Amino acid sequence: MISLVIIAFNQQEQLAKSLPMWLAQEDAAFEICVVDKNSEDDTIHMLEDMEERHSNLRHVAIPRTARIDKDRLAVMLGIRGAVWNRIIILRPHVIPPATGWLRHIADTWNTQRPILLIPVIQGRKLTFRQRYALFMAKHGRARWALGHAIGYSKDFFMNSGGFPGKTNLSTFNALVRYFSKPNNTQIIKDAKHTLHSLVS
């Protein structure tokens, strides 16, 4: 039982390609929540049409008057509104490698490790920065996310107090840098279960 939280802004075309792939996941209880950062394209209309055909798909929008970082606000809204405790936060261009990917994650994600680092392949292989981040994470010194996707426990996020104060780190990197420890982080290491990107 997993909640997928997709953070989007003016990415209708990417969502049109990635959402059907996520909705086609087999043998897993899951929901998809798209958190929209006030897109100016037809993202909302497309989502409303898709929601009529898929009961496990919904969307929310951040307040237009929000004065804090909209990306982090979107992540916070997605986590707080998630139905399930285990959450995968991702960008619209991220796609699964196979229809059984979510089932595999549900079966192998250790509930005692609330952070799940998920590599995302852009093109044919990991970037140098991703390889270095993966090397550090394997040795218990995780400092960065491995791509535009990360698994997180809702309980862990809420009990940790949410995002840290002022930081120049990107949203996903902040979730790793400030909270990841060797005993609370799991890493997807095999290439078969890394995620893929529509953007090379």
Region at 29 (left for phi over 0; alpha for psi -120 to 50; beta for the rest): beta
% of the chain at pLDDT higher than 90: 68
Domains of the chain: 2-197 (3.90.550.10)
pLDDT at 166: 66
pLDDT at 200: 65
Half-sphere exposure of 37 (CA within 13 A, CB side): 19
Enter the pTM of the model: 0.93
Which residue reads 């990991």 in tokens?
Answer: 126
Q: How far apart are CA 164 and CA 173, in angstroms?
A: 11
Half-sphere exposure of 178 (CA within 13 A, CB side): 18
Residues 19-61: pLDDT tens digits? 999 999 997 789 999 999 999 999 999 999 999 999 999 999 9
Task: Report the Cα 140 to chain-centroid distance in Å.
Answer: 21
Measured at the CA of 44, the angle between CA 38 and CA 46, to 5 degrees, comes to: 150
| Structure tokens that stand for 150 in this block | 């990360």
